[in-house]
Structure formats: structure tokens, C-alpha cells
């Protein structure tokens, strides 16, 4: 009797367990010290085998008689059973074999391939070579869920809905499993795979789901931030950069230790990228709703990620060669003897931002950012958050007497510093010395779009921020921004008189007309880029630029209409010398096809009303081409709403 009671009593008083050796402890600090000593020891074989068997029992075998081209394999087939998550989480680290049916294996592989072909280039969170073979099963399930979103768009129209439904069901199951795991024990957050799966789950809920799904994504983000606490690298990584040593040209000389060092690098860099991605998402899923980031008051004390060549290395040999050629790694190796080679600006995000906002940032920092566009995107996001925080704070103060404009809210010194940082980042993406790899091009494109968005926000902040409007999710935030940009709205929190006295025209569009025209050519023009693999946050940033252009087009069309007594077109000579005509023609030149441009430039400018209709058609096509994520169809229906046409009768201030 006592033998039966004792284990239960002991387990109740020892709630903290080591996932490596299964030892139990009654105190959290004792368990923490034990885990650090016990780190790296393999899990007990019997428990691992039992966990994998439990997972295989959850695999659902579909009817194999269906047509191979039309069957959509449910990604739920690889989900951990929620009832057995406590036994399987820390010990199931090997990749679960797909069903023996050859067709189903091909379908699973197609979902995973779709993830790495379409989503991974825009968000390289996972280590391509090892993530699925060493990570938890929930991570693979989320890869299947996101990959199946892209695969579903390749199906016939009548099967897309069922494919997306299976993907959403997968997300629901993984979300419930992950949230329980995160809430159960703080040690789970020390595993990169847990945070990676949670981040993918947050992305899916924020950009693919209903308002309730967005709330769940926010809840999971809140839980991650609360459990992580201080974002300090030394508290998470016990021995950072233990892998950074010199290797000769012969991999066989380092065979025993090379693979181990490669795995140490992968584990350390995966955790670093996960923490940075968490801050990235914290900003991008909140700012369209005009909600402050959860981590806005927290200090980020993690060094910048290393080169993307190291992260994308296929094996330890390729990684070793990239390591020996990496300039930042060479500098770190030599800094032990020569402290002048140390680059402090790569030690944290704040130091990197401060260096970029100076007139002469350190060359080592620029080299590090050029080698890792993902890191550059993190830095740019931090600058964007800084601008919004400045704007939010300054709108509580009266306008600056030296610059009474209702929109110029930063001081000249602050604006110069922000613009300097943006120029340095933009130069990295356009420098001819940087040969764009096809894998990095989506990231550099995102960076260019976001740089333009930040530049616009320096002059014309978000209408939601000006009016103090907060929305419940990204979809509602974009809808409100559209209505405010195209409707009758003025910044009531600033001086209305300064708005009425502004007779210089739409100066923002004039200053950035060349850069804006390039973006319009890319997303609305005849030879526009393929948008199937565009990340949803890139689409949001691009649409914010389009809204600014749309509002400027509305202003220019109104000015042309007023000066010419209605809808009569003006002569081609006049359009060269009036500001509204220049703006109107520059915008339409980027949107119209070659044949339409030839007709327009013969003798007359397109009528203002026709210009707005044609631009709206281009915006509808913009969202139609971005139908992979749910935000695309939602915005397509919103822009197609006749309510957007009714705003044309209202003046734009």
C-alpha cells in the first residue's frame, strides 16, 4: 500500500523534471542547475520509442484510390495526440516517418517542399537541413499546415476550401498542444523547436484566421513574452560561440568535433533567430491595429545573427568553409589577442541602430547586415517601431513652432538620424557589389518596401495613430486605414489650422515620387513581380504605400478637375508644369499597360475619374494576386466594395 502511495506523493512534491534524464526535483532552481549540467544527454530509449509509437498511432491513412492530382492530404496526419504531449514532448526529436503508402508520402513531401519554396525565403526561421529531423513533432505539423496553404492554392477551385479547412484544423490542434506545453514548464522555452513552432503558429493565426484566431495568436505571443522574461542572451545560452574555432581545409581532420560544433551553432543560432523573430512579429501583428508592442519596454540584449550562408549551409563541410571565409567570424577569432578588432555594434540591436543613425556606421556592422538580410529586416523593424513610438509620444504635445506642419512630428535632428539609418539600409539592398541570391531576394524586396513605408510615416503618420483609433485585428486595422485614407478625415489631435493653411500640395508624394513609382511598377505595373510567395507583412507594408499613393491620386485628380472645370482632359503641355498633373501622370504611368500609355501620351491626359477607376482596378488585382493568406481575399472584397467609390465625392485634406 505504501509502495503505491509513495511514488504519487513523491511526484506531487517534485513537479520539476529534467527532460534529458527524467530526474525530478522539488525546487526550480535546483532543477535548473541540474539541466545545465545534464544538457546534451540523450533521452531514455524506452520512453522515446513509446512516444514515437503514440505519434504513429495518430496518423490517419486516407483512401489511396483517389486521383493523385486532386487529393489534398491532411497535415493533421502528423500531429501529436494532445493526450500524450507530456510524455512525447521532450523525447520525440526524430522525424516521424510518413505513411508507407507512396502517394501519401509524396503529398506530405509536397507540403514541406511548398513551405521551403514559398515561405522560407521570406522568413528563414528554420534550419533547412536539420529542423524537421531534430525538432519536435509540433514544428513539423506547423510546417505542414503552412505548406498546405500554398499547396491548396494549386488545387481546383472546388477543392481549395476543403484544403484550407484541413490546414486550419491542424493549426487548431497544434495551438492547443503548444499552449499547454508552454504553460506547463518554463524549461520548454529553452528548446528552439518550441519557440519556432509557436512563432509559426502565431503567424498562421494572425494572417490566416478569423478574429478569434487572431486573439489566440496574441494570447500565445503574450504567453511567450511572459515566460521568456528578460531577453538576455547570457541567461539562455550558457556557453555562446563555443563552436567558433579555426579549421583547416581538410574536414577529415575534424570529423569527430566538426559535426558536434555545427550542431552547437545550429542550436545557438536557432534560438537567436527565434528571439529576434518574436520581436519582429510582436511589432508587425500589432502596428496595423495601432497597438503598442508587448516588448516595447524590454531591452533586447542578444548579439546579431550571423551570415545567412552559415545558416543555410547544407552540411558541416559547407558550414566549415563558410565559417572560415566569414569576415565577422575571423574578427571574433582574432579579437582575443587584438581588442581593436572587436565590433561592439553587433553585440545588440540597440547598438546596431545607434551606429546606423550616425553619419559613419562601422564597416563591420554594414558587412554583417549585408551578409544577413534577415538581420537587416530585424534592425529595420526596430527603427520602424522607434518612429512610431516617437510619433505617438509627440502627438500628445503641441506642434513645434519652428515647424508648424501637422505631420512633421520629429525634430530635424531626429529626422536626420532616422533618414541616415534608412539610407544605409537601402544602400545595402541596392549596392552593386552585393549579388542578390535568389534565396535572399524576397528579404531584400521586403526591406525596400518597408524602408519606403517608414520614410512616408516620417511625413504622414498612420491615420489610426493620429486619431487614436485601435482595432481588434490586422484585417480590421487595414479596413479602417483604407476608409480613413480615402474618406473625409483630419488630424483632430493636431492643429486643424495648419491643415487648412497647407497649400503646397501633396509634398510627400513629390519628394518620394521616383521611389514610389518604382514600387508601383513592381506591384501594380504590367511587368509586376510574382506575388505568390510574398510574405503577408510585406503585403501590408506595400499596401500602406499604395494607400498613400491612392490618396495623392485622389488629391491630384481633384486639383486637375477643379482647374479644368469638370472631367475634361487637359493638354499634354500643361501636365509638365503643374504639380497635380505631374503626380497624376507619374502614378498612372506606373499602373497603365504599354498600350494604354501610348494612347494617353498622344495628346491628352486620362480624365481624373477614369484615372481613379483604373487605379482601383490595379489595387484589386494587387490583392487578387496575394490570395494565399486570408488577408488577400478579405482586402479584395473590401476594395471592391462600392463604399470605396463613394469616397471619391468627399474632399481629401
The DSSP-derived string for 528-564 is PPP-TT--HHHHHHHHHHHHHHHHHHHHHHHHHHHHT
| Sign of the dihedral through C-alpha 284, 286, 292, 293 | negative
Host domain of residue 456: 237-461
pLDDT at residue number 38: 66
pLDDT at residue number 284: 96
**Strands, E assignment, 225-320:** none
Distance set, CA 579 to CA 13, 103, 485, 630 (Å): 76, 62, 20, 38
pLDDT at residue number 91: 33
- Matching residue, cell 508552454: 182
C-alpha cell at 218: 496574441
User: Taking the CA of residue 29 as centre, how many other CA atoms within 13 Å lie in the half-sphere pointing to its CB?
Assistant: 0
pLDDT at residue number 237: 74
Nearest to 181 by CA among 53, 280, 84: 84
Residues 6+ apart with CB under 8 A from 523: 529, 531, 542, 546, 622
Inside any domain, residue 121: no
Domain boundary, last residue among 434, 461, 488: 461
Inside any domain, residue 533: no
Query: In which residue ranges of the chain is pLDDT below 70?
Result: 1-16, 19-20, 22, 27-29, 32-33, 35-106, 186, 229-231, 238-239, 248-256, 336-342, 399-409, 432-436, 488-508, 565-577, 597-606, 643-653
pLDDT at residue number 184: 77
Domain boundary, last residue among 405, 437, 461: 461
pTM for this model (two decimals): 0.81
Inside any domain, residue 428: yes
pLDDT at residue number 558: 83
Inside any domain, residue 17: yes
What's the CATH code of the domain at 5?
Answer: 3.30.160.60
DSSP assignment letter at 126: S
Q: Cβ distance 449 to 519 under 8 Å?
A: yes
Q: Cβ distance 489 to 547 under 8 Å?
A: no
Q: Cβ distance 147 to 73 under 8 Å?
A: no
Residues 6+ apart with CB under 8 A from 214: 205, 206, 285, 472, 473, 474, 475
Inside any domain, residue 75: no
d(CA 559, CA 552): 11
Inside any domain, residue 148: no
d(CA 611, CA 615): 6
Inside any domain, residue 115: no
Nearest to 527 by CA among 582, 592, 438: 592
Q: Looking at the 3D structure of the chain, how many domains does it have?
A: 2
d(CA 503, CA 559): 12
Inside any domain, residue 81: no
Please report which helix (H) or strand (E) contains residue 355, including its range.
Answer: helix 349-356
Amino acid at each position: 500500500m505504501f509502495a503505491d502511495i509513495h511514488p504519487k506523493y513523491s511526484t506531487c512534491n517534485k513537479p520539476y523534471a529534467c527532460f534529458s534524464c527524467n530526474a525530478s526535483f522539488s525546487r526550480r532552481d535546483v532543477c535548473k542547475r541540474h539541466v545545465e549540467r545534464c544538457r546534451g544527454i540523450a533521452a531514455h530509449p524506452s520512453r522515446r520509442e513509446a512516444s514515437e509509437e503514440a505519434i504513429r498511432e495518430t496518423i490517419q491513412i486516407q483512401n489511396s484510390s483517389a486521383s493523385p492530382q486532386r487529393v489534398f492530404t491532411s497535415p493533421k496526419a502528423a500531429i501529436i495526440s494532445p493526450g500524450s504531449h507530456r510524455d512525447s514532448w521532450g523525447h520525440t526529436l526524430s522525424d516521424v516517418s510518413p505513411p508507407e503508402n507512396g502517394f501519401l508520402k509524396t503529398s506530405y513531401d509536397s507540403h514541406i517542399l511548398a513551405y521551403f519554396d514559398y515561405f522560407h525565403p521570406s522568413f528563414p526561421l528554420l534550419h533547412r537541413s536539420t529542423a524537421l529531423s531534430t525538432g519536435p513533432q509540433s514544428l513539423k505539423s506547423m510546417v505542414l499546415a503552412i505548406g498546405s496553404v500554398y499547396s491548396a492554392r494549386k488545387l481546383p477551385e472546388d477543392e481549395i476550401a476543403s484544403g484550407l479547412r484541413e490546414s486550419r484544423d491542424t493549426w487548431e490542434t497544434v495551438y492547443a498542444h503548444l499552449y499547454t506545453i508552454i504553460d506547463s514548464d518554463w524549461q520548454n522555452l529553452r528548446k528552439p523547436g518550441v519557440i519556432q513552432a509557436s512563432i509559426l503558429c502565431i503567424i498562421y493565426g494572425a494572417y490566416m484566421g478569423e478574429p478569434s484566431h487572431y486573439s489566440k495568436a496574441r494570447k500565445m505571443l503574450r504567453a511567450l513574452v511572459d515566460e521568456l522574461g528578460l531577453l538576455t542572451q547570457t541567461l539562455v545560452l550558457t556557453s555562446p560561440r563555443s563552436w567558433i574555432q579555426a579549421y583547416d581545409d581538410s574536414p577529415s581532420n575534424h570529423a569527430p568535433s566538426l559535426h558536434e560544433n555545427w550542431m552547437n551553432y545550429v542550436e545557438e543560432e536557432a534560438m537567436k533567430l527565434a528571439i529576434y523573430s518574436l520581436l519582429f512579429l510582436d511589432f508587425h501583428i500589432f502596428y496595423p491595429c495601432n497597438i503598442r508592442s508587448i516588448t516595447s519596454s524590454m531591452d533586447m540584449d542578444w548579439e546579431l545573427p550571423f551570415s545567412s550562408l552559415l545558416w543555410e549551409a547544407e552540411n558541416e563541410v559547407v558550414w566549415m568553409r563558410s565559417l572560415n571565409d566569414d569576415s565577422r567570424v575571423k574578427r571574433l577569432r582574432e579579437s582575443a589577442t587584438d581588442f581593436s578588432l572587436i565590433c561592439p555594434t553587433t553585440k545588440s540591436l540597440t547598438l546596431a541602430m545607434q551606429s546606423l543613425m550616425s553619419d559613419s556606421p562601422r564597416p563591420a556592422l554594414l558587412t554583417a547586415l549585408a551578409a544577413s538580410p534577415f538581420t537587416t529586416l530585424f534592425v529595420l523593424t526596430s527603427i520602424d517601431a522607434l518612429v512610431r513610438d516617437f510619433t505617438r509620444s509627440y502627438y500628445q504635445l503641441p506642434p513645434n513652432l519652428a515647424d508648424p506642419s501637422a505631420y512633421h512630428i520629429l525634430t530635424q535632428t531626429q529626422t536626420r538620424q532616422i533618414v541616415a539609418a534608412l539610407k544605409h539600409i537601402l544602400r545595402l539592398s541596392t549596392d552593386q557589389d552585393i549579388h542578390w541570391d535568389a534565396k535572399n531576394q524576397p528579404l531584400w524586396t521586403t526591406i525596400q518596401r518597408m524602408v519606403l513605408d517608414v520614410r512616408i510615416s516620417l511625413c504622414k503618420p498612420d491615420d489610426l495613430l493620429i486619431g487614436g483609433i485601435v482595432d481588434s485585428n490586422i484585417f480590421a486595422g487595414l479596413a479602417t486605414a483604407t476608409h480613413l485614407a480615402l474618406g473625409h478625415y483630419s488630424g483632430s489631435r493636431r492643429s486643424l489650422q495648419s491643415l487648412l493653411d497647407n497649400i503646397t500640395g501633396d509634398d510627400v508624394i513629390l519628394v518620394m515620387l521616383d521611389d514610389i513609382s518604382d514600387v508601383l511598377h513592381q506591384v501594380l505595373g504590367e511587368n509586376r513581380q510574382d506575388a505568390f510567395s510574398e510574405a503577408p507583412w510585406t503585403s501590408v507594408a506595400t499596401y500602406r504605400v499604395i494607400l498613400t499613393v491612392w490618396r495623392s491620386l485622389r488629391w491630384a485628380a481633384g486639383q486637375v478637375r477643379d482647374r479644368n472645370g469638370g472631367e475634361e482632359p487637359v493638354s499634354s503641355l500643361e501636365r509638365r508644369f503643374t504639380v497635380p498633373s505631374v503626380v497624376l501622370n507619374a502614378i498612372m504611368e506606373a499602373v497603365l499597360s504599354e498600350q494604354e500609355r501610348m494612347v494617353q501620351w498622344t495628346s491628352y491626359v486620362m480624365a481624373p475619374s477614369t484615372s481613379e477607376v483604373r487605379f482601383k482596378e490595379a489595387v484589386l488585382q494587387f490583392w487578387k494576386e496575394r490570395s494565399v493568406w486570408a488577408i488577400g481575399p478579405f482586402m479584395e472584397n473590401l476594395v471592391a466594395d462600392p463604399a470605396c467609390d463613394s469616397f471619391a465625392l468627399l474632399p481629401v485634406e
